[in-house]
Every structure is written in structure tokens, then in C-alpha cells.
Amino acid sequence: MTLSDFFSPIDPEKFTPKKGFYTSQLGMKVDFFTETFPELEEGKYDIAIIGVKDDRGAIDNNGCSLAPDYFREQFYLLNEGPFAAKIIDLGNIIAGQEVSDTYFAVKTAVAELVKLNIVPIIIGGGQDITYAQYMGYESLEQKVDLVVVDSKFDLDEDDHEGVATTSQTFLSKIFLHQPNYLFNYSNIGYQTYFVSQDSLRVMDKLYFDVHRLGEFVGDLSISEPIIRNANMISFDMGAIRWSDACANMNVVPNGFYGEDACRISRYAGMSDKLTSIGFYEFNPAFDNNGQTAMLLSQMVWYFVDGFYSRKKDFPLMPKSQYIIYRASVKGEATEVNFVKSKKSDRWWMQVPYPANGSKNERYHLVPCRYEDYNTAVKGEMPDLWWRTYQKLT
């Protein structure tokens, strides 16, 4: 089977204005799968847009399968930024006979595109599609760092009307999947009254990183190193407050502002490590004057802008472009080493592998903030160091 077997072409006329696109708009800059499936080869395209028209796993949000085309109506009206976009819109993955068929199509598409160094942007469907996105990394033989932007932990274990994986259970499926190639999970923006204390204890026991919405109020830059550590990101549109993104049956009053969501998306695009991202749970049936479709299109625009602003300072080569800082910690026999990029002023922390750890590397590099360095300078071990070391052991 080839990728063309999974995609249905799109008709750009459906979202082209009557007077046509201006030459500066993305509708004139992007290639589309219309009749003949495009030849995909490394270097020809940087980004691929994938629509997923399946919402059978979306709990109480039927209609989010319509998201891809409503997104396109707004996205292609936006002007190209200070970049020369090499984007291909591959059309839509139509719902398979079984949900598992849709998952297989998404999994295969993600795997093939990542191998070609093309970043897939997945639009549409329930957040259960995150599980298929994650499965795309199974054949790549690498550990995965997953970041989910969500107001809840989707750790339910009960099947819903015969559907084994849903928008409320997909995280449990990822955690329990064998073989296990998940190295780290991070949540950005959970709201405490939506999560149980038992689930918080599970996250702590597994040394995963979960961050309350309130942590980012007034300083969203705290999210940047968390996002920079991700191979893949799943963004639940329900993590945005109702006043800014109403098109979701499960929307809630509190959440990220629209501009926060755009900034998070730009951080994601700027991460050299990130190889796929999905935006889920947008339901056009509940949109107000296309507001959420417009916000989603702007979020993707900022992701693309961030992608073309990548500094390419990870991995840390050449060494001449970095400054090494060392800090002694009270009561510890080892120094804590930090690396700062001269290009971007971004920081990483070196966490040593245990004696029986990696055969090829002495240190695991984890993105951090200047504040972590300051903590170490004061003689205290940063929490991020401890959590990462525990995962390595």
C-alpha cells in the first residue's frame, strides 16, 4: 500500500474566494493533492497538512470530523509570512470502516512523512487520533517525548459504546502500549478541578511533567523548554477558553487565551526536535462566525512561522556555538552542567546516564530555563534534573 491509498483529494475551488487568492496569500503558495497524488521526496516539502475526517472516538463532540475543510477556508486566506513556504496539502484521510483503519492510515502517514523529514500537521477529528500519531513513531525505533496541551488528563480506561480508544482514554493506551517507546509525557495547561488526585500521583510516580494552567499566567515563556523537548505535540482546542474558541462541545470558561495558543504553536514550530503536531477537537457545528476556525488557522500560521525561524541549534553542534556553565550543588559529588546556545540564548541541562545507560552518550540533554541554572548556582539541584535522572535509571 502507498500513501495515496489513504487520502482523498480536495477541491481548492471550495475554499477559493470568488475573486481568487491574492498572490501573497497561502492559497497561492501551497501545493494541493487534487487529482494525482504528489511525489514526496526529502527536500521538496517541509510541511504536510493532513485532514482527518473521523470523530467516532470524540466523546460528546460529534462533528469535529468536519474540521479540516473549515480550517482550510480560513488558513489559505492568510498571507505568507517572512518565509518561503514549502507546504503540501495532502487532502483528507476519510474515516475507515473501523476506527482502527483510520488509525492505521494516520500512523502510516506520520511514519512515512517523518522519515522524509516532512513535518505533518494533523487537523481534525477527536483527540484519540493522538494515539495513531504516536503509533507512527513505532517503526522509527526512537524514544518519544510527548507534549499534550489539554485541560484534563485523558486517562479513563472504560470503553465507550464499543470504541476502545477515545478522546478520554487515548493517554492510557499510550502509557500501556507495548513495546514502550515513550520516554516522557508532559501536560501543559491542566485545570486541577478536572483531574483526580490519584491521576496526579500516577504522573508523579512516573516522573512525568504536568503543569497547571495557572503556572503560565503572566509568563507563558515557561512553556517553551517543555515544548522544545517534544518529538510530537497534541493540542486539544478545548484547552482554549470558551470566549476565544467556542467550537467544541466540551469547551470550558477557563483556559489559554487565543494569543497564548498562537504563541505555544510558534514555540512548537521553533523546536528543532519536533517532527509532528496535531490540532484536535475543533467542531465547526458550534463555531460562532468562524471565530475558532480563524483562530486555528492563525495557530497553524504561527507554527509555520516558527518552523521557518528554527535556529538549528540542536543537537549541539558545532561546539564553538555553545557556552558551557558548571554549577556545584550542595551535598552532591557531581557538578551540574548547563549549555547555552550563542545563536538563540536557549539553555539545556546535561543529565548523566547511569552506569548501565546509553552506550553511545554520557549525557542526556534536556531543555531548561535560565532560572534552572540560577537554582543550581545557589547550590540546589533543579527538580527537572532529578525527574530526568529518575527516568534515565
Tell me the pLDDT tens digit for each residue of 224-269.
Answer: 999 999 999 999 999 999 999 999 999 999 999 999 999 999 999 9
Last residue of a domain, one of 307, 332, 349: 307
Q: How many domains does the chain have?
A: 2
Distance between CA atoms of residues 148 and 239, nearest Å: 10
Whether residue 19 is contained in a domain is answered as yes
Whether residue 23 is contained in a domain is answered as yes
Mean pLDDT computed over every residue of the chain? 93
Which pLDDT does position 235 carry in this prediction? Answer: 98
Whether residue 359 is contained in a domain is answered as yes
Whether residue 90 is contained in a domain is answered as yes
Last residue of a domain, one of 255, 276, 307: 307
Which pLDDT does position 142 carry in this prediction? Answer: 87
What Å distances lie between residue 342 and 224, 272, 274, 317, 346, CA to CA? 17, 16, 21, 11, 8
Whether residue 162 has pLDDT greater than 60:
no
Whether residue 275 is contained in a domain is answered as yes
Distance between CA atoms of residues 306 and 312, nearest Å: 12
Whether residue 159 has pLDDT greater than 70:
no
The band of 360, judged by pLDDT with boundaries at 50, 70 and 90, is low
Whether residue 2 has pLDDT greater than 90:
no
* 125-129: average pLDDT: 96
The band of 157, judged by pLDDT with boundaries at 50, 70 and 90, is confident
The band of 313, judged by pLDDT with boundaries at 50, 70 and 90, is confident
CATH number (domain holding residue 252): 3.40.800.10
User: Per the omega criterion (within 30 degrees of 0), is the bond before 315 cis?
Assistant: yes
Whether residue 314 is contained in a domain is answered as no
DSSP 8-state assignment for residue 38: P
Whether residue 312 is contained in a domain is answered as no
* 21-40: average pLDDT: 95
Whether residue 358 has pLDDT greater than 90:
no
Does 356 lie in the same domain as 215? Answer: no
* 19-24: average pLDDT: 95
* 36-42: average pLDDT: 93
Whether residue 153 is contained in a domain is answered as yes
The boundaries of the domain holding residue 366 are 319-392
Does 156 lie in the same domain as 33? Answer: yes
Please classify residue 318 by burial: count the beta carbons closer than 10 Å to its beta carbon, then call 0-12 exposed, 13-18 middle and 19+ buried. exposed
Distance between CA atoms of residues 393 and 391, nearest Å: 5
